[in-house]
């Protein structure tokens, strides 16, 4: 990308956050660090601001957005919080857990945010820059990942600039994100709960709080979480999973004993692998080899979320 196509990028310090808050209040788009990946934020109560998110990402309009709030009380103004939601918030908020809850009637949330669903996805992020921004803007912020729809998620400010260019008005640079993989999404329905997207908080951890009322993902889950499209996180070249060695034309992403051209974690640590996943996919996408291969990743803990993303990257 040419230098002049890069969006204005400033450190996520108090001056940067003040500038970002003013832009958001004016209906502009700001990319922000969170503990998961960089988000593309806009005020959730303005139809034009929300429309700008869909336009910048090239996102299909049936794919709803997650709304970020500073605490449970702001969440309660937007959605119906039951005892289960309260218990999950007490345990995991602020943090990488998104809850899908019944939307409250008469809120100011723009209809495009929920893509017409009667539910709202809410998250209270832990990243200090995002918390400071929510406090300064005093607005609920819709924020999907800050990348073109279907492409690799951004874990650095540079990834955001490469993917979105000047479609974003400002990027707050808070360094590489800590967890590196999108939030867990849990739907709380009258009939029970289910994980719509695996993430840093595992289904087992949720079951510890809610008991074993978890449902298997319903056949309708594809409609309920439309973002869970089979192909996503695509590096733009073929991806082979479960590889123990590279073919001549492959860039191998290693794990543990399999070194590869780049490694998610030489020590075989799954949290480190999650944090490095998207940067490694970006590296593989930019490499000279026409194909990417990836070492097997264990399915335990956050490994389930890593493998979920890898299956979609390979699809
Ligand atoms: P991202 O664009 O990476 O932030 O992904 C947001 C995810 O949240 C997508 O998978 C959406 O489908 C999902 N989502 C947002 N709102 C809802 C909702 N009301 N019900 C179910 N899934 C939702
Ligand atoms: Mg995304």
Q: What is the pLDDT of residues 47-58, one digit of tens each?
A: 999 999 999 999
Cα(284)–Cα(44) distance, integer angstroms: 34
What are residue 48's phi and psi, to 5 degrees? Answer: -70, -35
What's the pLDDT score for residue 162? 94
Please, which pLDDT band fits residue 22 given cuts at 50, 70 and 90?
Answer: very high
Does residue 308 have its Cβ closer than 6 Å to ligand 1? no
Q: According to the model, what pLDDT value does residue 230 have?
A: 76
What pLDDT was estimated at residue 232?
84
233 annotated ligand binder: yes
For residue 227, how far is its CA from the centre of ligand 1 (angstroms)? 6
Q: Is 122 in the pocket of ligand 1 (CB under 6 A)?
A: no
pLDDT of residue 222: 44
What CA–CA distance (Å, rounded) separates 280 from 192?
37
Ligand 1: residue of 63, 85, 119, 182 to mutate (most ligand atoms within 8 A of CB) is 63
Complete domains list, the chain, with CATH: 3-216 (3.90.870.10), 239-314 (no CATH)
pLDDT of 276 higher than 80: yes
Question: With a 6 A CB cut-off, is 66 part of the ligand 1 pocket?
Answer: yes
Ligand 1 atom closest to Cα of 226?
12
Q: Is any ligand 1 atom within 6 A of the Cβ of residue 45?
A: no
Instruction: Identify which has the larger pLDDT, 133 or 212.
Output: 133
What are the pLDDT digits (tens) for 73-86?
999 999 999 999 99
Give the environment of ion ligand 2: residues with CB less than 5 A: 145
Q: Which of 59-63, 66-70, 96-100 has the lowest mean pLDDT?
A: 59-63
> pLDDT band at residue 216, thresholds of 50, 70 and 90?
low
CA distances from 192 to 186, 211, 312 (A): 10, 10, 26
Mean pLDDT, the chain, rounded, equals 93
The confidence score (pLDDT) of residue 219 equals 45
**Close Cβ partners of 141 (under 8 Å, ≥ 6 residues apart):** 24, 32, 39, 41, 42, 43, 44, 67, 68, 133, 134
Mean pLDDT across 136-146: 98
pLDDT band for position 5 (50/70/90)?
A: confident
Coil, strand, or helix at residue 119? strand
Say yes or no: CB of residue 100 within 6 Å of ligand 1.
Answer: yes
Which ligand has the nearest atom to the CA of 113? 1
Q: Kindly state the average pLDDT of the residues 81-99.
A: 98
Question: Ligand 1 centroid to 99 CA: how many Å?
Answer: 10
Give the residue-averaged pLDDT of 181-200: 94
């Amino acid at each position: 990308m040419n230098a002049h196509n890069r969006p204005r990028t400033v450190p996520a310090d108090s001056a940067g956050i003040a500038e970002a808050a003013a832009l958001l209040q004016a209906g502009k788009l700001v990319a922000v660090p969170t503990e998961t990946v960089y988000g593309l934020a806009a005020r959730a109560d303005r139809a034009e601001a929300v429309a700008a998110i869909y336009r910048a990402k090239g996102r299909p309009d049936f794919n709803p957005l997650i709304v970020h709030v500073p605490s449970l009380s702001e969440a309660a103004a937007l959605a119906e919080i039951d005892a289960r939601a309260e218990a999950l918030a007490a345990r995991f908020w602020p943090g990488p857990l998104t809850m899908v809850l019944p939307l409250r009637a008469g809120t100011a949330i723009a209809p495009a945010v929920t893509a017409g669903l009667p539910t709202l996805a809410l998250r209270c992020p832990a990243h200090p820059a995002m918390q400071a921004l929510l406090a300064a803007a005093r607005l609920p912020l819709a924020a999907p990942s800050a990348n073109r729809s279907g492409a690799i998620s951004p874990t650095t400010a540079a990834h955001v600039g490469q993917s979105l260019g000047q479609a974003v008005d400002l990027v707050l640079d808070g360094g590489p994100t800590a967890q590196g993989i999108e939030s867990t999404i849990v739907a709380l329905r009258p009939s029970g709960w289910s994980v719509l997207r695996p993430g840093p908080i595992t289904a087992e951890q949720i079951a510890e709080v809610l008991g074993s009322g978890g449902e298997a993902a319903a056949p309708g889950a594809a409609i309920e979480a439309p973002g869970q499209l089979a192909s996503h996180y695509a590096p733009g070249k073929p991806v082979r999973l479960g590889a123990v060695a590279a073919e001549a034309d492959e860039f191998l992403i290693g794990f543990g004993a399999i070194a590869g051209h780049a490694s998610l974690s030489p020590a075989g640590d799954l949290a480190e692998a999650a944090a490095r996943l998207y940067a490694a996919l970006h590296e593989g996408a930019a490499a000279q080899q026409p194909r990417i291969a990836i070492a097997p990743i264990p399915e335990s803990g956050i490994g389930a979320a890593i493998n979920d993303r890898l299956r979609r990257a390979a699809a």
